[in-house]
């Protein structure tokens, strides 16, 4: 099914033409793979520039870890983590180009490219979404599909920005105890279909919606694999599909690397190929340069 293209911050997203990459920028101290690496503004901006140079199409900024068992932070903590980074990306002065270790920062054209890059705010809180959009975020990526905060859809409808609706059961604290599905794909499909309907009823245009089956969120390793096998079924929802397999634990278990997320790059690459074969439109990844090469070859095979 061909979905209507989106224009986000002047960039055309022509679904089906190729796979788009969303680079993960966790400004958290406790994310499962890179917690603490980019928790300063300077480190976060440098990493954003690196991902842009590597070929990212979107930068996804999150201040709340959603790994299994992660603790909920306060609203103010989340705002304090994400807003300065978004502001710096959109308004950053030249003094941020001082790192001798990252010469790309000194390139004026790269600074311009980053300033024009679509930004996604990874949050379940309407207040964070509202204030992030005011500073220049373009997309809301809500792992709860708009279920954690009753005001989320009204904010998105008011601002008329694209939003990503993910499937989850429970919360990050409880989700891995809630993996008892009678019909895994059918229940995920039904949830996403219901959230699309709720979003449209709240005033969000269907053409601005993206869905995510929620790899690793209230899913066992075997269930994650089944989602990849049946990814094409979600095409019937009639909206673009985002998939986020990057460095996740099911890959670590398959590779016998349960404690080394950064050693899962090529396992992630295989999962990305599987997602593309199933019709995914966006991949949310840590390792942008490597996955850009993966996408180029997989797109040539599966998209012709």
Q: Which of the residues are catalytic?
A: 248, 284
Task: Report the C-alpha gap between 262 and 246 in whole angstroms.
Answer: 10
Residues 141 and 123 sit within 8 Å (Cβ to Cβ):
yes
Residue 229 has a CB neighbour count (10 Å cut-off) of: 12
| Contact (Cβ atoms closer than 8 angstroms) between residue 120 and residue 141 | yes
| CB contact at 8 A, 241 and 15 | no
In whole angstroms, give the CA distance from residue 9 to residue 31. 28
Two structure tokens written together for 84:
């300065």
Q: How far apart are CA 26 and CA 154, in angstroms?
A: 26
* Three-class secondary structure of residue 289 per DSSP: helix
């Amino acid at each position: 099914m061909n979905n209507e293209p989106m224009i986000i911050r002047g960039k055309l997203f022509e679904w089906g033409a190729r796979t788009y990459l969303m680079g993960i920028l966790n400004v958290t101290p406790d994310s499962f793979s890179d917690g603490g690496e980019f928790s300063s503004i300077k480190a976060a901006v440098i990493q954003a520039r690196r991902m842009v140079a590597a070929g990212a199409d979107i930068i996804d900024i999150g201040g709340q870890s959603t790994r299994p068992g992660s603790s909920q932070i306060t609203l103010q903590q989340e705002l304090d983590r994400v807003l300065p980074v978004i502001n710096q990306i959109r308004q950053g002065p030249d003094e941020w180009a001082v790192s001798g270790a990252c010469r790309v920062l000194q390139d004026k054209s790269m600074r311009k490219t980053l300033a024009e890059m679509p930004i996604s705010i990874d949050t379940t809180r309407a207040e964070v979404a509202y204030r992030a959009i005011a500073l220049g975020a373009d997309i809301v990526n809500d792992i709860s599909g708009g279920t954690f905060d009753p005001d989320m859809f009204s904010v998105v409808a008011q601002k008329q920005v694209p939003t990503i609706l993910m499937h989850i059961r429970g919360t990050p604290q409880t989700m891995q105890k809630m993996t008892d599905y009678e019909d895994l794909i059918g229940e995920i499909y039904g949830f996403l279909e219901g959230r699309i309907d709720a979003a449209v009823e709240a005033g969000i245009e269907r053409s601005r919606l993206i869905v995510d089956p929620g790899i690793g969120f209230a899913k066992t390793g075997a269930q994650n694999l089944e989602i990849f096998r049946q990814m094409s079924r979600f095409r019937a929802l009639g909206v673009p599909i985002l998939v986020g397999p990057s460095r996740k634990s099911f890959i670590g278990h398959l590779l016998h690397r349960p404690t080394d997320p950064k050693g899962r790059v090529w396992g992630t690459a295989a999962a990305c190929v599987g997602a593309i074969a199933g019709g995914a439109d966006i991949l949310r990844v840590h390792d942008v340069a490597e996955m850009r090469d993966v996408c180029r070859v997989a797109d040539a095979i599966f998209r012709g």
